[in-house]
Amino acid sequence: DQQVKQNSPSLSVQEGRISILNCDYTNSMFDYFLWYKKYPAEGPTFLISISSIKDKNEDGRFTVFLNKSAKHLSLHIVPSQPGDSAVYFCAANSNFNKFYFGSGTKLNVKP
């Protein structure tokens, strides 16, 4: 069962504009959400996280928004840079259990 879903397999954005990556989840027990970035032939690297007690967390150009009622989170990157081009995975877990990952969104930032 796919408890974390990323419905957009790819996204193309112009350099300097905002990138918005979306993620939906089905398990209301999830209380911790994360975004990872992955380059080809490398392991995923942690980007930003948010606890379910918050609705927003910001770190530099990256902001994650959580809408618990809609079971939806999003990652905003502004301004987008060509180096941001990668596959982005959202993940969720609860009670220190395994991390559930979405299928990923491939972001292409055009110069």
Partner 1 sequence: NAGVMQNPRHLVRRRGQEARLRCSPMKGHSHVYWYRQLPEEGLKFMVYLQKENIIDESGMPKERFSAEFPKEGPSILRIQQVVRGDSAAYFCASSPFEGNMNTEAFFGQGTRLTVV
State yes or no: residue 39 binds partner 1 (CB under 8 A).
no
Task: Read off the tokens for 99.
Answer: 């991390």
The reply on whether position 101 binds partner 1 by CB under 8 A is: yes
By the rule CB under 8 A, 89 interacts with partner 1: yes
Take residue 79 and report the two structure tokens written for it: 């301004």
Amino acid at site 1 = D
Q: What is the DSSP letter of 71?
A: T
CA nearest 107: which of 94, 89, 95?
89
51 binds partner 1 (CB under 8 A): yes
Q: Is 80 exposed, middle or buried (0-12, 13-18, 19+ CB in 10 A)?
A: buried
**Considering the rule CB under 8 A, would residue 13 count as an interface residue with partner 1?**
no
Closest to partner 1 by CB, 46 vs 67, is 46
Binding flag, residue 31, partner 1 (CB under 8 A)? yes
Report the interface residues with partner 1, using CB under 8 A.
6, 31-32, 34, 36, 41-46, 49, 51, 89, 93, 96-104
